Amino acid sequence: MSRLSKIDADMFSTRGGEYLMKIRMGTPPVEVFGYVDTCSDFLWVQCKPTKKSCYNKTAPPVFLPASSSTYQRQPCRSKACDTLQDFKLPCNAQNICLYDTQASNCSNGELAMDTFWLGSTPINHTMFMCGSNVGSLGDRVISADIGIGGDSLSLISQLEPVIQGKFSYCLMPQTNDAMNKTIKMHFGDRANVSGPNVVSTPMIKKFPPSFHYVDLIDVLAGNKTSRPVFNRSRRLDHIEYGNMIIDITSTITTIPEEMYDRFTRNIAEDIGGEGVQDPTGLYNRLCYKDLNVTRVPVVTFRFDYADIKVHPSNLFLEVGQGVSCLSMLYADDELGVFGNLYQRDLLVGFDLVKQKVSFKPTDCSLYN
């Protein structure tokens, strides 16, 4: 397939804070809804279940391999099958590439190839994991996990000859009205983020390669630093850094613990008053009763060469009975996550060829 200037796909937000993408696949094509996963290497699709215990009768499978004339099983002894690494099962007499992710008794299947459609654009010979899991969300069947990570079998990596490693999205604030609106993920030339107020930060290659790593230098509460010493010049060598990932999959943002402790002290000083316990009992977070949001300072995530401001309305979330808690946690493993809540009303564009991610403040309810 030759390079095209415009490829896009519809996305929808869920009440749980995840994002779904609508695609079509097979010949004739059938509609598939899948979770968008920026941390996944794989494109996984629900196929006809092989075990009754995996089958949810309220959410029948939407893809039957036997019904697609372009469906192709992949051989066990192939480079594509070898990319499954530890998930690959030993070759059998049929020489079909089989896998087992060991996540549950429903997480196995075969590696296959078929035609996928993004909007009106067919993507031929797309590799995917044809599995035996199924789920549902309201009246929508969740029948896929659409990996847009950086490794070889993700949707983005397979599209690279066509889209030149570029994709972008613009997430609206979570409102009842936004729940019914379509969000576009753009690929290729349309995914360029340019114009006034654009900032870009380098992406850093690390292991595992599925994550989109960047370097977080500081988190400012107003003008108060979360680091004891700030020196931008020491970030010239990016190889050993990369302490945060950009992730549309996660709602909550996490930052390294030492930085988090200083940040929460700084923001508590600005807000003033007494905090209360987290009523959910799940996290040790900064919480307030009847929070006056005007006292919440502007928070700036200072990435390498890119400052991103987070609106106070996204910084605290009401978790029940008038109690609002900080929508940020510390990272247990020191690898932070810039979650989708803080990405709202930002046009976010990835360029995996030039290894950068760009941000532009945007009213995403008007962007398409």
Picking from 332, 318, 311, the residue whose alpha carbon sits closest to that of residue 276 is 318
User: Residue 306 — φ and ψ, nearest 5°?
Assistant: -145, 120
Picking from 70, 59, 1, the residue whose alpha carbon sits closest to that of residue 29 is 70
Count of Cβ atoms closer than 10 Å to residue 56 Cβ: 15
Report CA-CA distances (Å) from 285 to 124, 223, 236, 263: 47, 22, 34, 12
Residue 116, classified by CB atoms within 10 Å of its CB into exposed (0-12), middle (13-18) or buried (19+), is buried
CB 250 within 8 Å of CB 337:
yes
247 is catalytic: yes
Report which secondary-structure segment, H or E, holds 262. Answer: helix 257-271
Distance between CA 192 and CA 33 in Å, rounded?
Answer: 26
Count of Cβ atoms closer than 10 Å to residue 122 Cβ: 16
Picking from 149, 53, 158, the residue whose alpha carbon sits closest to that of residue 107 is 53
Based on its alpha-carbon atoms, the radius of gyration of the chain, rounded to whole angstroms, reads 22
151 is catalytic: no
Task: Please identify which of the residues 145, 215, 218, 247 carries the catalytic annotation.
Answer: 247
Task: Please identify which of the residues 37, 41, 218, 351 carries the catalytic annotation.
Answer: 37
Residues 6+ apart with CB under 8 A from 256: 216, 243, 330, 331, 334, 336
Distance between CA 321 and CA 324 in Å, rounded?
Answer: 9
Q: Which residues are catalytic?
A: 37, 247
